[in-house]
Amino acid sequence: MPPRHSCDYLECGKSFGSKSALKMHTRTHTRERSFACDFDECGFTCSGSGHLVTHKRTHTGERPFACDFDECGFTCSMSGNLKVHKRTHTGEKPFACDFDECGFTCSGSGSLVTHKRTHTGEKPFACDFDECGFTCSGSGSLVTHKRTHTGERPFACDFDECGFTCSTSGHLVTHKRTHTGERPFACDFDGCEYTCSQSAHLVTHKRTHTGERPFACDFDECGFTCSTSYSLKVHKRTHTGEKPFACDFDGCEYTCSESGNLVLHKRTHTGERPFACDFDECGFTCSQSTHLVSHKRTHTGERPFACDFDGCDHTCSRPEHLKVHKRTHTGERPFACDFDGCEYTCSGSGDLVKHKHTHTGAKPHKCTECEYATIQSSHLLSHIRTQHIGHFNQIMKKKETRVFDYLTTRGFCFEREVTISYNCFDTNKSSSRIDAVFEFPGRDLRVLLEIDETQHDGYGIACDVRRMNDTALAIRLAGTDANILWVRFNPDAYSIDGDRVRTPWADRVATLVDILNTFQPSKPMEIMYMYYNTVEGVPAICGDVEYARDIVDCVSCIF
């Protein structure tokens, strides 16, 4: 065996098979860099002639080493890089971490060195820009970081008319998938078809299956955890009050803690509504993808969020609505007024906003016909009804028409503006007009649908109850034996146990569709109040002394 040539520097036990190899190694101790690049304005120096040859290829673009695997066009400037690349084909990972219980393996020795620093905490590479304390474990990370100072974006997309540039080759690879549609990362959980264009997105997605929430807030007494580091960063701003994103439209002082919220906010200035419904003949557009998802449920009737309290069948199309609904069970009132001496609390943030107007004197709801302004939209509607009856009727007609147009798109057949004559019996009225009548012979059911704007506030309760009784009697005397269901549908604001509730129009009409499709009668006449004020689960109107006691048992409600 030929003699080995050992390094005589203290604590360096390396040995080499030749004097030239030892000589080159010794320069790592002496820092001698005797080989210099002769390209203009390039100050590169190194300790070995081989390194200089490789470096010069960064100027010439020469890539003499090519992968010989079928259909692989990879080329590079160093034989070592080619060797590592080929392992992406063979799957070979000969370098293994020797830290206890760490199963990390990789295809390159450099990757192993960098990985071990995750155990040791070593970060030998430091940014030399003034007042920047950034350090990292890999030289490549430092190169990328410095571009945040220089603004350099050397990687450019080569798709036609795409001006995208970025600071790392990895970001360019990911970006190009927006053109190709490639989604190479797939979830391997049973029955899950999720795919994505970035491995990091797949890692985050899998946490929706495992429930893993590895990121925890370290503020005192805060138990918040989440599945992404970004979510944690945004959450911490709820403690610090930091709102680093500001609107740059003239005169707008809006700031927020998340860049995505700023994008959405700016659409209130531009009017941009980039998300469009693709159901036939539906022209709905909106500014947020989540709104589009909720809207589409008005077509599909999907209500995936269900209350899990015993005996409660409430379902809805949006999780935030379920959250508010559950407070009707728990009594929770998490929103509190912060004006001095005011103890007001409520279950919905919208109610708190309205309440605060009583302190500030703000009157955001303004009449377009005169100078009247008020705190609540319902008060404005009452004003328009009493002071501008023509304009009021126009508004009401729009709401009514909107409901019936929707029911038509859902395939329902019905008669509009039906007059029921009272000629067959003695009453002080000659007839009644119903907004719409539906016939369901297969269920022995006739539905009388009334669109009760503002819950028909101002109509006499006793007269309204008598009208329903008289109309049902007239239908029976006309020879119809079908059971009758009155549906009193309120498209406006309402309250549950005194708290205002915001149930979107989409949720309301989806529930109405479900009732029309599935209701099974159990009495000759039944009355269903939809989105009327309720107290302890009963329509508030039924508690009025003018409401006939003999038909209360026929009443149900949806809220």
- Report the C-alpha gap between 398 and 368 in whole angstroms: 17
pLDDT > 70? residue 347: yes
pLDDT > 60? residue 186: yes
- Report the C-alpha gap between 510 and 427 in whole angstroms: 37
With cut-offs at 50, 70 and 90, classify the pLDDT of residue 134. Answer: very high
* Six-digit token string for 546: 């003018």
With cut-offs at 50, 70 and 90, classify the pLDDT of residue 381. Answer: low
pLDDT of residue 147: 92
pLDDT > 80? residue 497: no
Kindly report the pTM of this predicted structure.
0.44
The residue assigned the tokens 């009155």 is 486
Higher pLDDT, 553 or 194: 194
* Helix count and strand count (H, E) for the chain: 16, 36
Angle at 133 between CA 132 and CA 137, to 5 degrees: 120
- Note the residue count of the chain: 559
Q: Is there a contact between 378 and 490 (Cβ–Cβ < 8 Å)?
A: no
- Report the C-alpha gap between 414 and 219 in whole angstroms: 59
With cut-offs at 50, 70 and 90, classify the pLDDT of residue 209. Answer: very high
| pLDDT, mean of residues 219-247 | 92
In degrees and rounded to multiples of 5, residue 285 shows phi and psi of -135, 160
In tens, the pLDDT along 382-418 reads 776 666 656 555 655 777 888 888 899 888 999 988 8
Candidate from 64-73, 290-299, 445-454 with smallest mean pLDDT: 290-299
pLDDT of residue 424: 61
Q: Write down the mean pLDDT value for the chain.
A: 85
pLDDT of residue 240: 93
